[in-house]
């Protein structure tokens, strides 16, 4: 079933529940340090207001572990949203219950209410029917605009959709689905994926799946060392997951007959993971036994950039090195710039790679920046996402 977008649903006078992703970073003073996710929701919120709906926003924030903890209140988000919209945003005392219902009862068309943190209730993550029904009783229409949470079957992303008559996707969610489908269903070839980040074990599923989909797979970051080790290369003290060596070896064998899988050929190695540590560029066969590789080297950058420049579909997840530390950030930023210049339809997903394209100042040149790291990986893996499937009715 096709998914209905928010602007294809009658909203006038309706109570419209919108699952948003307001899981924003806060500092010790509980100030929002990055409001990207709030800004990303504005189009949908504006639209519902202008269509005469009563907007009921709901999100989780942090990990309050199923308890009401003021530290995880969404109140700072309501304030920021008010500023961004130049309009009052009411803050609810809770996310379910009679008091909230009464607040919604008194709302006028075009007004906005932000519910309190959904994860103050353990039933949210457990997807309990009673909690789903309590949420559903607040609204006439359900809209999901939280792609970042769509790979989880929680009450607010999946459960409650069974008890609401009209369901659909917000603009942000729809753009995610359309962009990722473009890469997944009929990708223009060559189709290139770049995977980095710390752990192989986190991305096993996606790697296995991509071998049957992409033409070329570039592997960098910490996860490359488990593969290099599986190839018989001594990687010193670099990050290796010993229990993934066998899997990595079989994957390399499988990949060999199907696609071009490229691992780093040189590295920025350091005596330890420290800004002041001695460092040098080393080739695969010269990694000192007690050194640690923390970034891809210039030769690898060149090889990777060449592939990137000839791709027509490109998906990138995970940094090429410890890019949080300047001496080990060059590989990741070089890849970010190359991805931006590539003629491919480019998708970047995952917090670190998104941060890298932002820091490199090239975000505007990326075709689609996914708001959900885990969700975009699962989508690319070919898994069905419960939060998206729930909208197909
Ligand atoms: P992930 O969450 O799996 O995408 O991993 C991101 C983290 O991987 C970042 O914090 C990087 O610092 C880290 N990382 C990338 N390359 C390396 C490396 N060569 N050694 C250790 N950590 C790395």
Residues 6+ apart with CB under 8 A from 375: 147, 148, 149, 150, 151, 176, 385, 387
Catalytic option among 19, 37, 175, 203: 37
Separation of alpha carbons 219 and 207, rounded Å: 10
Q: Is 351 known to be catalytic?
A: yes
Per CATH, is 179-381 categorized as 3.30.465.10? no
Query: What is the rounded average pLDDT for all residues in the chain?
Result: 95
Percentage of the chain modeled with pLDDT above 70: 100
Per-residue pLDDT averaged across 321-347, rounded? 97
> From the alpha carbon of 293, which atom of ligand 1 is closest?
19
Looking at the chain, the whole-number percentage of residues with pLDDT higher than 90 is 87
pLDDT score, position 221:
97
Question: Is 199 a known active-site residue?
Answer: yes
Q: How confident is the model at residue 20 (pLDDT cuts 50, 70, 90)?
A: very high
pLDDT at residue 128, as a whole number: 98
**Domain 6-172 falls under CATH 3.40.1190.20:** no
Average pLDDT of the segment spanning 102-128:
98
As a whole number of angstroms, the distance between CA 313 and CA 346 comes to 6
Q: Where in the chain is the domain with CATH 3.40.50.1260?
A: 6-172, 179-381
Give the distance from CA 160 to its chain's centroid. 23
Q: What is the distance between the alpha carbons of residues 38 and 76, in angstroms, rounded to a whole number?
A: 11
Ligand 1 neighbourhood includes 220 CB (under 6 angstroms): no
How far apart CA 258 and CA 116 sit, in angstroms, is 49
Residue-level pLDDT at 7: 98
Residue 354, φ and ψ in degrees, nearest 5: -65, -45
User: Could you tell me if 224 and 263 are in contact, meaning their C-beta atoms sit under 8 angstroms apart?
Assistant: yes
DSSP code at position 191: E
Strand order in the sheet with 112-114: 89-91, 112-114, 54-58, 15-19, 141-144, 166-169
Tell me the pLDDT band of 374, cut-offs 50, 70 and 90: confident
State the closest ligand 1 atom to the C-alpha of 323, by its place in the atom list counted from 1.
12
pTM over 0.85: yes
The string of DSSP letters for 323-365 reads: TTSGGG-HHHHHHHHHHHH-SSEEEEESHHHHHHHHHTT-GGG
Provide the pLDDT for residue 352.
87
Among 55-64, 233-242, 289-298, 343-352, which stretch is predicted with the lowest mean pLDDT?
343-352
What pLDDT is recorded for position 184?
Answer: 77
Cβ neighbours for 280, distance < 8 A, ≥ 6 positions apart: 268, 269
Alpha helices in 185-279 (DSSP H): 204-210, 224-230, 245-258
- Separation between Cα atoms, residue 216 and residue 308, nearest integer Å: 10
At 140, list the tokens. 């006439």
Q: What is the mean pLDDT of residues 314-324?
A: 96
Helix count and strand count (H, E) for the chain: 14, 15
Work out the pLDDT band at 183, boundaries 50, 70, 90.
confident
- Which tens digits make up the pLDDT trace of 242-283? 999 999 999 999 998 999 999 999 999 999 999 999 999 999
Q: For 167, left (φ over 0), alpha (ψ -120 to 50), or beta?
A: beta
Q: What is the whole-number distance in angstroms between the Cα of residue 148 and the centre of ligand 1? A: 20
């Amino acid at each position: 079933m096709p998914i209905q977008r928010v602007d294809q649903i009658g909203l006038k006078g309706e109570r419209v529940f919108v699952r948003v992703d307001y899981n924003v970073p806060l500092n010790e003073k509980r100030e929002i340090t990055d409001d990207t996710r709030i800004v990303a929701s504005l189009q949908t919120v504006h639209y519902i207001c202008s269509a005469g709906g009563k907007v009921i926003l709901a999100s989780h924030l942090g990990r309050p572990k199923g308890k009401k903890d003021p530290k995880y209140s969404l109140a700072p988000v309501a304030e920021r949203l008010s500023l961004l919209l130049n309009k009052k945003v009411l803050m609810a005392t809770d996310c379910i219950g009679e008091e909230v219902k009464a607040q919604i009862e008194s709302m006028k068309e075009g007004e906005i209410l932000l519910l309190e943190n959904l994860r103050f209730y353990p039933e949210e993550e457990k997807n309990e029917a009673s909690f789903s029904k309590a949420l559903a009783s607040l609204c006439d229409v359900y809209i999901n605009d939280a792609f970042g949470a769509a790979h989880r079957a929680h009450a607010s992303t999946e459960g409650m959709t069974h008890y609401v008559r009209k369901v659909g996707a917000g603009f942000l969610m729809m753009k995610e689905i359309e962009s990722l489908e473009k890469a997944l269903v009929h990708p223009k070839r060559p189709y290139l994926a770049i995977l980095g980040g710390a752990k192989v074990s986190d991305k096993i599923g996606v790697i296995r799946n991509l071998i049957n989909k992409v033409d070329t797979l570039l592997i960098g970051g910490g996860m490359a060392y488990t593969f290099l080790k599986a190839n018989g290369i001594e990687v010193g003290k670099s990050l290796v997951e010993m229990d993934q060596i066998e899997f990595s070896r079989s994957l390399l064998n499988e990949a060999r007959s199907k696609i071009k899988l490229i691992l780093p050929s040189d590295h920025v190695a350091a005596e330890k993971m420290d800004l002041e540590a001695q460092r040098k560029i080393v080739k695969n066969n010269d990694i000192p036994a007690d050194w640690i590789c923390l970034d891809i080297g210039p030769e690898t950058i060149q090889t990777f950039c060449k592939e990137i420049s000839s791709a027509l579909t490109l998906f990138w997840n995970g940094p090429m090195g410890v890019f949080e530390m300047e001496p080990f950030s060059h590989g990741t930023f070089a890849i970010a710039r190359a991805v931006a210049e590539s003629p491919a339809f480019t998708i970047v997903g995952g917090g670190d790679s998104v941060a890298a394209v932002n820091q490199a100042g090239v975000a505007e040149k990326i075709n689609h920046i996914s708001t959900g790291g885990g969700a975009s990986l699962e989508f690319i893996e070919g898994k069905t996402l419960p939060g998206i499937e729930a909208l197909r009715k």
